[in-house]
């Protein structure tokens, strides 16, 4: 297993576990502005199923990126927000998104040449 760009062999594969999952990134990006309820997340992400959104939220909760709060009301109000760990991930994620925006055209051009 080669030393990756930073000399650490397995850090890449660990990162890919989450980042490879587009729903995780979309949930994190949607929670970036602040606390949201399930229905808000569903509406804002748009083309995600209830099952996929629940599964993604549960996994992000287990990995420590998202916190879930149940307010004792009738019916109970459930809210999701980013934890400090989740918030800390936004910066490298934004770096990736900025790179993607800046280079989308170059990649599209390369793909046209290749086809």
Q: What is the DSSP string of 33-59?
A: TS-EEHHHHHHHH-S--HHHHHHHHHH
CB of 51 to its own copies, least distance (A): 19
Per the CB < 8 A criterion, the answer to whether 49 and 82 are in contact is no
Smaller CB separation from its own copies, 75 or 111: 111
First-to-final CA distance of the chain? 32
- Binding footprint of its own copies on the chain (CB under 8 A): 1-2, 4-6, 8, 11-16, 19-22, 25-26, 28-30, 32, 44-47, 61-64, 85, 88-101, 103-104, 106-107, 109-111, 113-115
CB of 79 to its own copies, least distance (A): 17
Tokens representing residue 6 in the block = 């930073």
Smaller CB separation from its own copies, 74 or 105: 105
Smaller CB separation from its own copies, 73 or 101: 101
Smaller CB separation from its own copies, 13 or 77: 13
CA angle 101, 111, 21 (to 5 degrees): 55
Strand pairing report for 77-82 and 66-71: antiparallel
């Amino acid at each position: 297993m080669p030393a990756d760009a930073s000399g650490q062999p397995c850090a890449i594969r660990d990162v890919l576990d989450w980042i490879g999952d587009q729903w995780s990134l979309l949930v994190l990006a949607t929670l970036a502005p602040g606390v949201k309820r399930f229905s808000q997340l569903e509406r804002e992400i748009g083309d995600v199923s209830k099952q996929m959104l629940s599964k993604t939220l549960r996994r992000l909760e287990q990995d420590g990126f998202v916190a879930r709060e149940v307010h004792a009301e009738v019916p109970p109000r459930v809210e999701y927000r980013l934890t400090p760990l989740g918030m800390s991930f936004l910066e490298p994620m934004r770096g990736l998104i900025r790179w993607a925006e800046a280079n989308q055209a170059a990649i599209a051009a390369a793909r046209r040449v290749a086809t």
